Amino acid sequence: MSLINDDLQQLLLHYCEPENELLQQIDRETNLKVLMPRMLSGHYQGRVLSFLSKMVAPKRILEIGTFTGYATLCLAEGLTPDGILYTLDINLELEDMVRSNFEKSAFNDKIKYILGDANETMQELDEVFDIVFIDADKKNNGAYYDLIFERVRPGGIIIVDNVLWSGKVLQDKQDKDTRNITGFNDKIAADERVEKLILPVRDGLFVIRKK
């Protein structure tokens, strides 16, 4: 999924903050026990998410797509003392692993882990968010964006993962999944309510700031 070669990736890791022991453990266990471990954000992207969160100092974060909780914990590093992070996922099979990972962290009391269809569960949250991280089923990126937009404060940011789709967005002939990604990217590019840029981090992070 990374758009840069292994040698340069190792150089980037050398010059960024290290993973803590818990994040290293989550990475190892995910790769050993979970299907499609490449969905995990990983060290470098995790540090990018942590950095953005610390810059915003959010009171409220919404994450759509928990997986094994790696990115969740990275985003939680920037929470204010009274901050809360809501993370939504539909995969019941990973629940025990995820809850165990959160319980081992310093942020367990700040994380609200909610299982169910995100299209429904997010509408039950009566909050205004400073950061939203969308990293779930890609075909619904646009729907999630529309559902949550009015509940992001002015100046808040929405981060969307996998928007470069392993470079497939460059292809003239695109499969259905790639067309969905390209369609979403075009939607954001045309949205005058936001400032936006794509960071070429792993598989592409769209960082979108609400005006």
- In tens, the pLDDT along 99-136 reads 999 999 999 999 999 999 999 999 999 999 999 999 99
* CA 183/CA 161 separation, integer angstroms: 14
Please say whether the beta carbons of 37 and 22 come within 8 A. no
- In tens, the pLDDT along 173-203 reads 999 999 999 999 999 999 999 999 999 999 9
For residue 112, tell me if it sits in a domain: yes
As for how many domains the chain has, the answer is: 1
How many helices (DSSP H) and strands (DSSP E) are in the chain? 8, 7
Would the pLDDT of 1 be above 70? no
Would the pLDDT of 46 be above 80? yes
Average pLDDT over residues 1-15: 87
Mean per-residue pLDDT over the chain, rounded: 96
Taking each helix axis from N to C terminus, what angle separates 21-33 and 42-56, rounded to the nearest 10 degrees? 130
Which pTM does this prediction carry? Answer: 0.96
Average pLDDT over residues 157-163: 97
Average pLDDT over residues 139-153: 97
Structure tokens given for 163: 């928007």
The sign of the torsion formed by the CA atoms of 95, 202, 194, 153 equals positive
Q: CATH no. for residue 55?
A: 3.40.50.150
pLDDT at 89: 98
Domain that holds residue 115: 6-210
* CA 111/CA 109 separation, integer angstroms: 6
For residue 1, tell me if it sits in a domain: no
pLDDT at 6: 87
For residue 32, tell me if it sits in a domain: yes
DSSP 91: -
pLDDT at 181: 96
Percent of the chain with pLDDT strictly greater than 70: 99
For residue 147, give every residue at least 6 positions away whose Cβ sits within 8 Å of its Cβ, in sequence order, or none: 119, 122, 123
For residue 185, tell me if it sits in a domain: yes
For residue 49, tell me if it sits in a domain: yes
Please say whether the beta carbons of 28 and 98 come within 8 A. no
Structure tokens given for 193: 């309510």
Reported confidence tier of residue 3, pLDDT bands at 50, 70, 90: confident
For residue 108, tell me if it sits in a domain: yes
